[in-house]
Chain A
Amino acid sequence: MSGLGDALVEPLRHAFMQHALVAIVLVGVICGVTGTFVTLRGLAFMGDALAHAIFPGVVIAFLLGGNFLIGALVAAVLVSLGIGAVGQSGRLSNDTAIGVLFAGAFAIGVALISAQRTYTRDVAGFLFGSILGVSRTDLLLTGGVGVLVLLAMLLFRRELTTVAFDRVFAQAAGLNLWAWDQLFLVLLSLSIVVSLQTVGNVLVLAMLVTPAATARLLSDRLPVTVLVAALLGAASGVAGLYLSYHVGIASGASVVLVATGLFALAFLFAPRTGVVTARVARRLHFPHPERDAFAAEGNRGMGYGDRV
Chain B
Amino acid sequence: MRAAVSWIRAVVPGLPADVTTAQLADRLTALGLKLEAIERPGHDITGPLVVGRVLSFEDEPQKNGKTIRWCSVDVGAANGTGEPQGIVCGAHNFAVGDLVPVILPGGVLPGNFEIAARKTYGHVSAGMICSARELGLGDDHAGIIVLPPDAGAPGDDVFDVLPLRDEVIEFEINPDRAYALSLRGVGREAALAYGVPFTDPADRPAPSSPSAAYPVEVEDPVGCPVFTGRSVTGFDPSAPTPDWMARRIQLSGMRPISLAVDVTNYVMLELGQPIHGFDRDKLAGPIVVRRAREGERLRTLDGVDRNLSVEDLLITDDSGPIGLAGVMGGETTELCETTTNIFIEAAHWDPVAIFRTERRHKLPSEASKRFERGTDPTIPLIAADRVAELLTTYGGGTVEDGVTSVGAAPARTAILIDAELPARVTGMDIPAATTVDNLRAVGCSVVEDGSSLSVTPPPWRGDITDPFDLVEEVARIVGYANVPSVLPPAAHGRGLTRSQRLRRRIGRTLAGEGYVEIVSFPFIGTKDLDALGLEDSDPRRTVLRLANALSSEEPSMTTTLLPGLLKAASRNAGRGASDLALFETATVTLPRATGPAPIFGVDQRPSDAQLDELDKALPAQPLHLGLVVAGERERPGWWGEGRAATWADAVEAVRRVAESVGVEVTVRAAARAPWHPGRCAEVMVGDAVLGHAGELHPRVCTAYGVPGRTAAAELDLSRLLEHAAAMVEAPGFSNFPLAKEDVALVVDASVSVADVEAALREGAGEYLESIRLFDVYTGPQVGEGKKSLAFALRFRAPDRTLTEEEAGAARDVAVRLAAERLGAVQR
A and B found bound together: no
* Residues of A bordering B, CB below 8 Å: none
* Chain B residues with a Cβ under 8 A of chain A: none
